[in-house]
Amino acid sequence: MPSEKQITKTEVVIVGAGPAGLGCAALLKQMGIEDQELIVLERGEIGESFLRWPKTMRLITPSFPSNGYHQTDLNAITPDTSPAFSAGKEHLSGEEYAKYLDMVAKHYKIKVTTNTQLDSVSSRGPNKGYELLAGELTIHCKFIIWAGGEFQSPNTAGFSGAELCVHNSKISEWDQLSKGHYVVIGGYESGVDATFNLVNKGYEVTLLDIGGAQQDTFDPSRVLSPYTAERLSSLSSAEGVEYDDDFEVSNVYQQGDGYVVQSTDGKEVFTPFPPINCTGFEIDLGPLTDFFVYQDNGYPWVSPFDESTKMRNVFLAGPRLYHDPTLLCFIYKFRGRFAAPCAVIASELELDTSIFKHYKQAGMLLQDLDCCKEQECFC
């Protein structure tokens, strides 16, 4: 007779060992969760998305080791750590930030099961929890936190002919590209980063902003960061760069040995190389996709505890959190929500929640979700 499959039983499974997943795990560890009650699954290495960044890409949010002055590093995922302190830099590379995440995992003794893809998730019935299949692992758990990030799901369907382009997330080294003229589609953070690095390496670039004029908002999730705005401004006097901030791409098609990028109003730009697509990422929750209900804008509906409105004890953490009108896509935003799912889990497992006071003092407990409606700075 075939042997029965081995089942690992635990309380909490966190999917993803990036800033969101490890941030939630570190909080649970500080609340006293036992090792056997927590499993973190990562399909690559710790900080995998950051390890895949182009080598010259940097965090746009500055880090500064100001913990001693009760000001938490903006890119830290716990109140008592600082990427700036560990790396000695304000704007870390992806590799440097992944190293910081690995240090956090070691410090809080978080056991991460790496190189393990989550294949499927199914309910075991009312109040019986979930069964997860991940490689050779079969796991039964009560709580799931999806922290899979977004870098694994590039947007390749934003316009007709997008499949002819190369998404910027697929480029590891800009100077590996053949010399010549490139078209960069997307004038937000990624597009400016690609243009800045290509121009500084001697390439000619046409940057097309598909969004037109900047949005009338103070929300840093929807306008350029100062770091990126400064880089864009520096390109205005650089040679070999053109910037069209009113070019909404409708189509990309091949013409001879090159490519034509066409706008909705009929403008065209020719390039001998596949255009570089910097239009961001899709919302993809992997095997948990059907465990959520979605809003008209594509973001998952979640409760005030960031729990699925469809399935009990299934939570969302990270850059896809959206509480109208607040998009929690930066680390310093979504880290304030680590306490939301962890509070529910703590109640069920009778964990110690006194650490929440420390998180609140450090500005890492976000409860007012209208934070980005108005700008409180007058100059």
pLDDT digits (tens, 9 = 90+) for 319-358: 999 998 888 889 999 999 999 999 999 999 999 999 999 9
| Single residue among 243, 277, 311 that ends a domain in this structure | 277
**Is the same domain home to 357 and 262?**
no
Tokens at residue 18, please?
Answer: 């990036």
- Check whether residue 29 and residue 89 sit in a common domain: yes
Q: In this structure, are 19 and 129 located in the same domain?
A: yes
Q: Is 166 a domain residue?
A: no
Query: What pLDDT is recorded for position 369?
Result: 75
Q: What is the CA radius of gyration of the chain?
A: 22
Q: What is the DSSP string of 89-106?
A: -SS-BHHHHHHHHHHHHH
Nearest to 78 by CA among 31, 13, 14, 34: 31
**Residue where a domain stops, chosen among 260, 277, 294:** 277
pLDDT single digits (tens) 199-258: 999 999 999 987 544 555 556 666 888 999 899 999 988 999 999 989 999 999 999 999
d(CA 192, CA 105): 32
pLDDT of residue 17: 98
Same domain (yes/no): 212, 267: yes
Q: In angstroms, rounded to a whole number, what is the distance separating the alpha carbons of residues 337 and 291?
A: 20
Q: Which residue from 145, 146, 144, 142 is spatially nearest to 125, judged by alpha carbons?
A: 142
Helix runs in 182-323, H state only:
189-200, 226-235
Asked if residue 251 and residue 290 are part of one domain, the reply reads no
- 146 shares a domain with 24: yes
260: left (phi over 0), alpha (psi -120 to 50) or beta: beta
Last residue of one domain, picked from the residues 255, 277, 299: 277
- Quick one: tokens of 377? 């700075």
Q: What are phi and psi of 275, to 5 degrees?
A: -60, 150
Cα–Cα distance measured from residue 136 to residue 121, given in angstroms and rounded to the nearest whole number: 14
Are residues 65 and 132 both part of a single domain? yes
Number of domains in the chain: 2
Q: Residue 144 — φ and ψ, nearest 5°?
A: -130, 130
Question: Residues in the chain with pLDDT < 50?
Answer: 1-3, 212-213
In this structure, what CATH number is given to the domain that contains residue 108? 3.50.50.60
Is residue 190 a part of any domain in this protein? yes
Same domain, 257 and 210: yes
**Same domain flag for 191 and 125:** no
Structural domain boundaries enclosing 256:
183-277
Q: Is residue 221 part of a domain?
A: yes
Rounded to an integer, what distance in angstroms lies between the CA atom of residue 102 and that of residue 88? Answer: 16
Q: Nearest to residue 135, comparing CAs of 30, 32, 287?
A: 287
247 token code pair: 């070019």
Contact present, 235 and 213 (Cβ < 8 Å): no
Q: What is the per-residue DSSP string for 174-211?
A: GGGSPSSEEEEE--SHHHHHHHHHHHHTT-EEEEE-TT
Query: Do 239 and 356 lie in a common domain?
Result: no
pLDDT number for residue 44? 96
E strand map for 247-311:
249-255, 258-263, 268-271, 276-277
pLDDT of amino acid 100: 98
For residue 205, what are its two tokens?
A: 């670039």
